Amino acid sequence: MTSRDNRRLDLILAAGVFALIALPWYRIRSGFFSFEWLEDFISSEKLWPGLVQGLTGRWQLWPVLALLAVAVLLRFTQAPGKRGGALIAVGAAGLAWMLAEGLAIGLRGWNWGLLEATFGDVAGQQAFGAGAVVLGTLFALMIAFGAAERGALKGDAFVLGAITLLVLLVATFVFYPLVSMFTGAFQEFDGSFTSEGVRRNIVDPKIWSLACFWGGNCGVAWRTFFLAICTATGTTLLGLVFALVATRTGFRFKKSLRLLTVLPIITPPFVVGLALTMLLGRSGSLTQVIEAATGWELGRWLYGLTGIWIAQMLSFTPISFLVLIGVVDGISPSMEEASQTLRSDRWRTFRKVSLPLMAPGLANAFLIGFIESMADFGNPLVLGGSGGVLSTEIFFAVVGAQNDPSRAAVLAMVLLFFTLSAFLAQRLWLSGRNYATVTGKGDGGRHISLPRRVGWPVITVAVAWAAFTITVYAMILFGGFVKIWGLDHSLTLDHYAKAFGVGWDNGILWTGVAWDSFWTTMEIALIAAPLTAAVGLLTAWLIVRQRFPGRGVFEFALMMSFAIPGTVIGISYIMAFNLPPLQMTGTAAILIACFVFRNMPVGVRGGVAAMAQLDGSLDEASLTLGASSGRTMRKVILPLMRPAILAALVYSFVRAITSISAVIFLVSAKYNMATAYIVGLVENGEYGIAIAYSSVLILVMITVIGGFQLLVGERRIRRGEEKAANSSFSAKEARA
């Protein structure tokens, strides 16, 4: 016991000393992993490690050095059982000090006038670099190991370490940005407090006006709210229609209806808007047909809330469909059978039993639709015209001529308020009200068919909408091959050639304009996917299998981060990571971090679902057989979770490719992502290339998902029991 405690402490102490003498303390402009800094490490004082920085006058690092020395001292003077509390204290003090000095001293000295007045001048410092990041992590681990030595959580250092690091990561990449956004709203450019920007924006009639009730224009907050209500209502109804057709009618093609559920996963969020423009826009094909036939001038009716609404209906109905299939299917058939034996015909049974049982599920679908619509960025960006919604207003508040961060922050808070309210409603009010049985165990009965007077209308609506959806998607595939949409419909491969051209000059030349962002996207998605899966599943394991104080809060906070719209994340990341102590804007790292922490909740949910199917005594058996937690994870849990892991990998990969709302804030010239690039093309009116590029992305994702299905499907044949895992990663979670 003692030796193990000492060994792991030795390891982090050695790493700490190494970080202090051999890694640059401050951020390096050219990037750490280029390793260019190795050449000038001695000569350039910017690159010096923490120890040297401290010795040459940066007194703010002295406490860090001292605390590490105390830890080393503790290691050699105290036995493992005795020093636990002291280690926790050292670790906590180290983290707290690094946080304080990092926030207090910026590029040009003190960040707040008050401190400068009290302590006098101080030399400015760069953002944290490799050395500082490593040391901060080690301080966190010190807390975990100290707690382990004190016997917390049965003395399991692996579990404690994992929890500590996760909390640190979530705090850094979810909560710190949100807090930064709030404080950013109250700051002048020089950092001093002001409420002027907030006061100006919070009463801005452009946000809150209700003038549309008497003929004017309503504020953006109300318009967004109104749109979200409409979209949520529409998608819930249509989703229910599809779910009923798929489960309770003899409709012949109902199997293929389920294919619809894949669409939102593989479709970059603005593509539907783009296709709608081509169909119904001013020179859209349908518009031209109608105008030619009737002589009316249809104009720009599509641009605005109507258009966004149609696009969102197309985008989110499949999500609602997927949610409601579970609900409709989950109602125990014996309820309906009981009702029938009690002298109720099918119509009465449907009205009095089936529908009421579905009610909580419908409310859930409504709230999901509401959040989706609020958070949607791609469709409003393409179709918003002059009247945008909150998410696009946020974007234009920072990128456009306005450049008003406090306005962006206020708008983001309004948006966050709406989505979080819906999330809390969904979590607190709906939880425990679900009548659907989730076990999937049928009790032998069969669902009755819909009564005739419901059945036919429902099938008609479903078929019509499915036809519309197919048309829209056909547009996307077809549009890439047409010279100029609406004017010159001759077929061409020009757009593909321009986007994905390949030349040959002593090796492949990627001459197409899209290649650059395409490879960046693939690279970042490939890096982010395994990280997302790892972090998500580790968290799931901790939540399901470990009992630690604050577990409920931890889980709730994680799930809540799912309700934070991408736009809000984007703006908060910019505000948090643009200046020291953590400066990441313009790097690939910020994109990766964004993907990992945005998609992690899905990994967590999938992992929790998969893990719930594994008997807890398997872990315990492994422990009592002498395997450590780490080994248990590696040898028992991971192999049994393989389908869930694969699903998490594929899902986060695909999401990293299709995401736009947060990404568009974070891309840079060096690291441009496919979606951001396509939006740029749309803004320049290059629809042909944009559509061609989108089709290629969709094809890539179909390939990836199809391959994954084959892989998992094959496992299913060999072993009967492992199939539930992949269905838990469904389009329900897919959001822009």
Partner 1 sequence: MTQTKGAVAFRNVRKTFGSFTAIPDLTLDIEPGKLVTLLGPSGCGKTTTLRMLAGLESPTDGQILIGGDDVTRLPADRRDVSMVFQSYALFPHMRVGQNVAYGLEAGGMKSAEARKRAEEALELVGLSGLAGRLPAELSGGQQQRVAVARALVLEPQVLLLDEPLSNLDARLRRKVRTDIRELQQRIGLTAVYVTHDQEEALAVSDTIVVMKEGKVAQIGTPRELYESPASDFIADFIGEANVVDGRVLSVEGDVAQVELGGVTLPLPSRGQSPGPAQISLRSNALKVTTDGTGIKGTIASSAYLGDHVEYEIDGPLGRIFVVDDESDTPLPSGTAVALEVRPRGVALIPGTA
- Note the residues at the interface with partner 1 (CB under 8 A): 1, 81, 151, 154-156, 615, 617-618, 620-629, 631-632, 635-636, 639-640, 721
State the minimum distance, in angstroms, from the CB of residue 1 to partner 1: 6
Q: Which is nearer to partner 1, 355 or 625 (CB)?
A: 625
Reduce the DSSP state of residue 504 to 3 states and report it: strand
State the minimum distance, in angstroms, from the CB of residue 623 to partner 1: 4
Phi, psi of 504 (to 5 degrees): -135, 120
Q: Which is nearer to partner 1, 154 or 452 (CB)?
A: 154
Q: Which is nearer to partner 1, 315 or 629 (CB)?
A: 629
State the minimum distance, in angstroms, from the CB of residue 149 to partner 1: 9
If one counts every other C-beta atom within 10 angstroms of the C-beta of residue 165, the result is 16
Tokens of 77: 């003077």
As a three-state string, the secondary structure of 106-125 is ECCEECCHHHHHHHCCCCCC
The answer to whether the CB of 268 falls within 8 A of the CB of 678 is yes
State the minimum distance, in angstroms, from the CB of residue 8 to partner 1: 13
Alpha helical stretches, state H, 249-377: 254-257, 263-266, 271-280, 285-294, 305-330, 333-341, 346-349, 355-375
State the minimum distance, in angstroms, from the CB of residue 152 to partner 1: 9
Contacts of 301 (CB under 8 A, 6+ apart): 307
- Which residues on adjacent β-strands are paired with residue 110? 105
Q: Which is nearer to partner 1, 277 or 726 (CB)?
A: 726
The answer to whether the CB of 117 falls within 8 A of the CB of 100 is no
If one counts every other C-beta atom within 10 angstroms of the C-beta of residue 215, the result is 6
Query: How far is the CA of 385 from the CAs of 273, 380, 419, 534, 700, in angstroms?
Result: 12, 8, 24, 41, 30
State the minimum distance, in angstroms, from the CB of residue 643 to partner 1: 12
Q: Which is nearer to partner 1, 231 or 632 (CB)?
A: 632
Query: How far is the CA of 381 from the CAs of 221, 227, 377, 387, 400, in angstroms?
Result: 16, 14, 6, 10, 13
Q: Which is nearer to partner 1, 121 or 721 (CB)?
A: 721
- Which residues on adjacent β-strands are paired with residue 218? 210
Q: Which is nearer to partner 1, 492 or 546 (CB)?
A: 546
Q: Which is nearer to partner 1, 588 or 645 (CB)?
A: 645
State the minimum distance, in angstroms, from the CB of residue 719 to partner 1: 8
The answer to whether the CB of 659 falls within 8 A of the CB of 675 is yes
State the minimum distance, in angstroms, from the CB of residue 543 to partner 1: 18
State the minimum distance, in angstroms, from the CB of residue 622 to partner 1: 7
Alpha-carbon distance of 240 to 237, in angstroms, equals 5
State the minimum distance, in angstroms, from the CB of residue 519 to partner 1: 37
Phi, psi of 722 (to 5 degrees): -105, 80
Query: How far is the CA of 372 from the CAs of 36, 246, 393, 664, in angstroms?
Result: 44, 23, 17, 18
Alpha-carbon distance of 694 to 473, in angstroms, equals 11
The answer to whether the CB of 394 falls within 8 A of the CB of 404 is no
Q: Which is nearer to partner 1, 620 or 683 (CB)?
A: 620
Q: Which is nearer to partner 1, 636 or 673 (CB)?
A: 636
Q: Which is nearer to partner 1, 477 or 623 (CB)?
A: 623
Q: Which is nearer to partner 1, 156 or 336 (CB)?
A: 156
Query: How far is the CA of 206 from the CAs of 211, 229, 416, 640, 731, in angstroms?
Result: 10, 20, 18, 54, 35
Q: Which is nearer to partner 1, 6 or 437 (CB)?
A: 6
If 0-12 CB within 10 Å is exposed, 13-18 middle and 19+ buried, where does residue 579 land?
middle
State the minimum distance, in angstroms, from the CB of residue 722 to partner 1: 9
First to last CA, the chain: 49
The answer to whether the CB of 175 falls within 8 A of the CB of 602 is no
Q: Provide the residue type at 664 as one letter.
A: I
* Count, residues in the chain: 736
Check residue 450 and report its DSSP letter. P
State the minimum distance, in angstroms, from the CB of residue 544 to partner 1: 15
State the minimum distance, in angstroms, from the CB of residue 173 to partner 1: 31
Q: Which residue is it, tokens 């709302």?
A: 661
Q: Which is nearer to partner 1, 146 or 455 (CB)?
A: 146
State the minimum distance, in angstroms, from the CB of residue 638 to partner 1: 10
